[in-house]
Amino acid sequence: MKRIRLSQQEIVFAVFALLFLLFSIFLRGFLTPENMLTLLQNVSVLGILGLAMAVVVIGRGIDISLIAALAVPPGLALQMVQDGHSLPIALSTAVLLTIAFGLVNGWLIAYAEVPSLFATLATGLLLAGLGQAVLFRLDVVQWSSGMDGFERLGQGTILGIPTSIVMFAIACIVVAFLLRQTRWGAYIYAIGDNPYAARVTGIPSRPIIVLQYVVAALIGCFAGLVMAASVNSMPTRIFNSTLIYDVILVVVLGGIGLSGGRGGVLNVIIGTLVIGTMLNGMTIMDISYAGQNLIKGVVLLLAVITDSFLNPRNEETAQQGDI
């Protein structure tokens, strides 16, 4: 199994290299410094979201509500600053909202035993609806002077590297540390591999699952802050976009099986690079938004089919109703 998984990583990496090479040769304007910067900046938000999704998917779940966590709490922070609150208060409110949201997700999935896809689909709608109905006045929450200085989270460079890339790198290191160096990370792998065995061994499965969704929501919120800082606003309608499918695509293409218990940060990085290159190339080729979605959808479908062959569902531990 390990051999196949490694080879999948290698294949995806080879695909990335090939794609990059082809685009560099055939696409005018692909291999320019400006485009590379755009690519990396776009990709870094996607990559951070991919890390959040990876944490959940490794624990045999999925979090469709990530985009809501990306859009609403940072949007709330911006809105509060606009309304005259100080930045620290706004940020801590956003973080508290994110934690509460993660707790609700986790409780629904771990304690109420609602399937994760289903629960997060609904909570995502709930949070987005909350933002739309109560929190925001406009669909795009504008930057205000109170936020000055905060834009450095997404703009400029640190040691010559674009900041958003640095943020992605920091997120990677943190998540890699959590997953590989802490007991909590080992528990996530155990739960993802076989939830019943994990439970029988005495792992506190339910609290760990809750924690998993809280962490995912926090990473999602972080991604949202980076995004808001880099574009100087929070377009909350991003919830209606297909960004979440890009995130799933990153994770699945990167080689983190949806059946859980496998993969790591490296897979997310590889997946992000492939998707980022593909999206960037398609944008340069001037493929329409709908056309891009069509291509992404087909690629995702192929990835899921391949995934189901490489990591077949374990019929013994797949629950009834695990749809």
Query: Which of residues 31, 96, 200, 305 is near another protein by CB under 8 A?
Result: 305
**Residue 113 sits in the site that holds another protein (CB under 8 A):** yes
Nearer to another protein, 257 or 276 (CB): 257
**Residue 211 sits in the site that holds another protein (CB under 8 A):** no
Cβ atoms of 220 and 70 within 8 Å: the answer is: yes
Nearer to another protein, 95 or 243 (CB): 243
User: Residue 64 has which token pair?
Assistant: 């469709």
Query: Which of residues 27, 103, 114, 176 is near another protein by CB under 8 A?
Result: 114
Nearer to another protein, 155 or 292 (CB): 292
Nearer to another protein, 24 or 308 (CB): 308
**Residue 122 sits in the site that holds another protein (CB under 8 A):** yes
What x-and-dash track marks residues 35-64 binding another protein by CB under 8 A?
A: ---------------------------x--
**Residue 316 sits in the site that holds another protein (CB under 8 A):** no
Burial code (b: 16+ CB inside 10 Å, e: under 16) for 149-170 equals ebbebbbeeeeeebbbbbbbee
90-109: contacts with another protein (CB under 8 A): 108
Q: Measured between alpha carbons, how far is 254 from 12 in angstroms, rounded to an integer? A: 7
| Antiparallel, parallel or unpaired: β 161-162 and 157-158 | antiparallel
269-288: contacts with another protein (CB under 8 A): 288
H helix or E strand, kind and range, residue 273: helix 265-284
Q: Measured between alpha carbons, how far is 178 from 66 in angstroms, rounded to an integer? A: 19
**Residue 310 sits in the site that holds another protein (CB under 8 A):** no
Cβ atoms of 173 and 115 within 8 Å: the answer is: no
Query: Which of residues 121, 176, 178, 243 is near another protein by CB under 8 A?
Result: 121
**Residue 304 sits in the site that holds another protein (CB under 8 A):** yes
Q: Count CB neighbours of 249 within 10 A.
A: 26
Torsions phi, psi for 148 (to 5 deg): -55, 140
Point out which span in 39-47, 114-122, 144-152, 267-275 binds another protein (CB under 8 A). 114-122
The DSSP 8-state label assigned to residue 322 in this structure reads -
User: Residue 244 has which token pair?
Assistant: 């979440």
| Antiparallel, parallel or unpaired: β 140-142 and 161-162 | unpaired
As measured in angstroms, the least distance from the Cβ of 227 to another protein is: 21
Number of residues that bind another protein (CB under 8 A): 48
| Distance of alpha carbon 136 from the chain centroid | 23
Q: Which segments of the chain are extended strands (E)?
A: 140-142, 157-158, 161-162, 233-235
Which bin fits 319, alpha (ψ -120 to 50), beta or left (φ > 0)? beta
Nearer to another protein, 92 or 314 (CB): 314
**Residue 289 sits in the site that holds another protein (CB under 8 A):** yes
**Binding positions for another protein, rule: CB under 8 A:** 62, 108, 112-115, 117-119, 121-126, 128-134, 242, 245, 248, 258, 288-294, 296-298, 300-301, 304-305, 308, 313, 315, 319-323
